[in-house]
Chain A
Amino acid sequence: AAGVIQSPRHLIKEKRETATLKCYPISRHDTVYWYQQGPGQDPQFLISFYEKMQSDKGSIPDRFSAQQFSDYHSELNMSSLELGDSALYFCASSPNTGANEQFFGPGTRLTVL
């Protein structure tokens, strides 16, 4: 079965620009999570969605927003990019809320110049 798909895989932006990251969850997975991983750091939770509604929020800057669409794919929108936003951004999906493992995508490497 296909895994989580993320696009683009690499993205280079200038400071103050905007970026949109896309995530396509595993088929029949209705919960999507976004994580940010800086160099040498562990993944930090940003935000999650269940059945197209925001279900939990972590340390996500106000400059970032996200949503989940009717086909369950999700987009992370990032505005007024800063140098410190350079990181790997992972999307993960799980079948439903509760004690279920999350399956991660390959990530989008964002570089802000």
Chain B
Amino acid sequence: EDQVTQSPEALRLQEGESSSLNCSYTVSGLRGLFWYRQDPGKGPEFLFTLYSAGEEKEKERLKATLTKKESFLHITAPKPEDSATYLCAVGTNFGNEKLTFGTGTRLTIIP
């Protein structure tokens, strides 16, 4: 069974204090690893897709990286508007289209 574990569960940072969120996964065949941002009561907002180990993608203050066992979401000089829950999800390549999500990291940026 596919498993996704995210850490930490919650993270509080001062504005401008860089950090990383972790997503560890165990899957039978990785089709893609996806990062989403979710604000309270809203739908997940797509951020990145990573397909193979060594791949990196950037968007503004966010950078996602992928190894064979885990992915990191690096946040550089965060601002209060970056506060949200960040979800990691995996899709596998055995005909399944579903995404299996981790429980997320709740990020709070303090001004």
Classify the secondary structure of B's interface with A.
loop
B95: chain A residues at CB < 8 Å are 56
Chain A: residues with Cβ within 8 Å of the partner, total of 29
Binds B, one of A13-21, A63-71, A78-86, A102-110: A102-110
Q: Which chain A residues have a beta carbon within 8 Å of chain B's beta carbons?
A: 4, 31, 33, 35, 41-45, 48, 50, 55-56, 58, 88, 90, 92, 94, 97-99, 101-107, 109
B43: chain A residues at CB < 8 Å are 4, 90, 92, 104-107
Q: Are B44 and A90 interface neighbours, CB within 8 A?
A: yes
Please report the C-alpha to C-alpha distance between residue A92 and residue B89 in the assembled complex, in whole angstroms.
14
Q: Are B97 and A104 interface neighbours, CB within 8 A?
A: no
Please report the C-alpha to C-alpha distance between residue A98 and residue B100 in the assembled complex, in whole angstroms.
15
